[in-house]
Structure 1
Amino acid sequence: MLWSELTWEEIPIALKAVNNAAILPVGATEQHGPHLGCGVDTVIADLLCKEVSRITKVPMLPTLPYGCSIGHSKHWPGTIAVQPITLIEIVKQIGDWAYSSGVRRLFIVNAHVTNAAPLRCALEILRATYDDLMISILHSAQLTERVRHFHFADAEDWHANDAETSLMLAHAPELLRPEKINIADDPDRTEGLLFSHPVNHTSSNGVTGKPSLATLEKGQQGFEWMVNDLSEMILKALNEEPPLNTPYCSH
């Protein structure tokens, strides 16, 4: 159910079958330490949503490969970031056109932590523009408690860690440099800090966590949890309605 593979005649039929729902995966292009390629977040968003789209039959819009990664700094080559205001505007315009095509339930699936704030801003703008458009932002690493534990087991401010390395071992080994995994560990230095620091001030090599703990089996299990939990959430939400039908404007 990939939007890009459907014709203009097929899209209305596909949307009608799932109560006018669509999925928008959002990733990022950013450094992921010495052992992982820069496309990890986009690959996770893309693979996860493709599988969920297959299960739920909800059409999946093309995955956004650029996100708000400015916190990763320019200390390490590889990050291609957009400003928060840019991501807000991109998602707003995607929402405009998706609405015009008939989408009334939009599931934004985010695989990069600091996309959260711009995506929330886009949600606020879109739902104030279209009173009958419902939007949900779902963060791939925090879908449920078991998914969260899988991601946060080795670091609270994790990045390129056990979980992401395990996912790549299981589902995208071409992004891995196996000889670097066991020497890539870097501790989480953010505990007890009040300020939010960019990664160049908290990591020595772009990693936060212990990729040396990664296994293919953990990657398979973690991905299965993510797919099953997200599919269940989306299927349930296909029939959700607003508690009240009061119009947005008073006139």
Structure 2
Amino acid sequence: MYLADQAWPDLGSYFAEESLAVVPIGSTEQHGPHLPESTDHVIAEHLAREAADRAGYLCTPTVNVGVSMHHRQFHGTMSVDPPAFRDYVESMTRSLTHHGIDRVVYVNAHGGNMQHLREVGRRLREDRVAFAVEWMWDESIPDLVNELFEHNGPHGGPKETAMLQYLDGDNVHDDRLEQARDGGRVNLEDGDPTIHGARNYYDAIDNSPNGVFGDQTDATAEKGEQLFEAATEQLVALLEWLDGKPFDDLMAAPHVDPQPGSRR
């Protein structure tokens, strides 16, 4: 069920019976010469809505702009400061708790959001408001990704290219796949990302002239469909697992004995 398409009286039965919501989160940022800047939020929204529909849960509107300052040198990249992003996502999640939601899955498709969504989840759990967990689609199916592509690439590579070919092929420049590969980095390690054990770069352009990594020519819509179906299955399984857990089991364990102040 997509929240934004419903009239408020029609949502009452869901909130009376269910306490879980799916929140898709992505970015609007460069993905090389071949992919649209919508790549991450398109993937997040399609996965979130499909899994929510299959499993019978509520999906919220998508957060389309994330933490993307490391792509700022490329035209059109949008970003928000990390504290503003964290506060916004937390505030939005707390608004759902007013309707009885106490567990949330952030369906995230942008690596730059990961640590910040984890921080939001920690805050909400500390306050015993909700259990919110960040889920990254490619991390749920690593074996399949490795099986399909020799050079995955952490950004704008064949896995994202294949997903967009399947989900939004009209906005993929298939005639630029070789350009993307040859103008970027097939292997991140070739850019010497660490020197004497220290990560020596901050922005994508520091290691890739066109901002992307991997061999994009390995991508096809058929492979994208395989990725989408496999990731959706994993997400459905996560939603069902989370829904089946008692709320107290999701909260922090109590302090070990003796309890602080117990002898006062």
Q: Same fold (TM over 0.5)?
A: yes
In the TM superposition, what is the alpha-carbon distance from 1:244 to its structure 2 partner?
A: 8.1
1:220 paired with 2:225, answer: yes
Identify the match of residue 159 of structure 2 among 160, 163, 170: 163
In the TM superposition, what is the alpha-carbon distance from 1:201 to its structure 2 partner?
A: 0.3
In the TM superposition, what is the alpha-carbon distance from 1:12 to its structure 2 partner?
A: 3.3
1:133 paired with 2:130, answer: yes
Residue 30 of structure 1: SS of its match in structure 2? coil
CA distance in 2, matches of 1:22, 1:148: 27
Residue of structure 1 in register with 2:43 after alignment: 44
Q: Deviations over 1:116-148 (max 9, x none)?
A: 11111111222223x152212111221243355
Identify the match of residue 154 of structure 1 among 151, 154, 157: 151
Letter in 2 for 1:26: I
Identify the match of residue 234 of structure 2 among 219, 225, 229: 229
Residue of structure 1 in register with 2:208 after alignment: 203
Distance change >3 Å, CA 135–CA 76, structure 1 → 2: same
In the TM superposition, what is the alpha-carbon distance from 1:182 to its structure 2 partner?
A: 2.1
Identify the match of residue 108 of structure 1 among 106, 125, 137: 106
CA distance in 2, matches of 1:116, 1:214: 25
Q: Deviations over 1:78-132 (max 9, x none)?
A: 2101111111011110011011121111111111011011111111222223x15
Residue 236 of structure 2: SS of its match in structure 1? helix
Contact 1:146–1:225 (CA under 8 A) maintained in structure 2: no
Letter in 2 for 1:142: E
CA distance in 2, matches of 1:138, 1:15: 23
The correspondence of residues 60-209 of structure 1 with structure 2, limited to 5 A, is: 60-72=59-71, 74-129=72-127, 131-146=128-143, 149=146, 153-155=150-152, 158-185=154-181, 186-187=184-185, 188-190=187-189, 193=194, 194-195=198-199, 197=201, 198-209=203-214
Q: Deviations over 1:5-43 (max 9, x none)?
A: 1222232311344x3100011000000100111000000
Letter in 2 for 1:3: L
1:243 paired with 2:241, answer: no
The Cα RMSD (Å) is: 2.4
CA distance in 2, matches of 1:25, 1:228: 16
Distance change >3 Å, CA 232–CA 150, structure 1 → 2: farther
In the TM superposition, what is the alpha-carbon distance from 1:196 to its structure 2 partner?
A: 5.4
The correspondence of residues 5-20 of structure 1 with structure 2, limited to 5 A, is: 5-17=5-17, 19-20=18-19
Distance change >3 Å, CA 151–CA 132, structure 1 → 2: farther
Structure 1: gaps of 5 or more residues:
none
Structure 2: gaps of 5 or more residues:
none
Q: Percent identity?
A: 24
| Greater gyration radius | 2
Letter in 2 for 1:161: G
Letter in 2 for 1:32: H
Contact 2:125–2:132 (CA under 8 A) maintained in structure 1: yes
CA distance in 2, matches of 1:174, 1:42: 16
Q: Deviations over 1:134-182 (max 9, x none)?
A: 2121112212433553697514x51111111111111111221121112
Q: Deviations over 1:197-251 (max 9, x none)?
A: 2101010111111111111211111111011111112112211123388898999
Distance change >3 Å, CA 245–CA 225, structure 1 → 2: closer
Contact 1:141–1:151 (CA under 8 A) maintained in structure 2: no
Residue 8 of structure 2: SS of its match in structure 1? coil
Q: With structure 2 as the length reference, what TM-score do the two structures score?
A: 0.86
Question: How many residues of Structure 1 are paired with residues of Structure 2 in the alignment?
Answer: 247
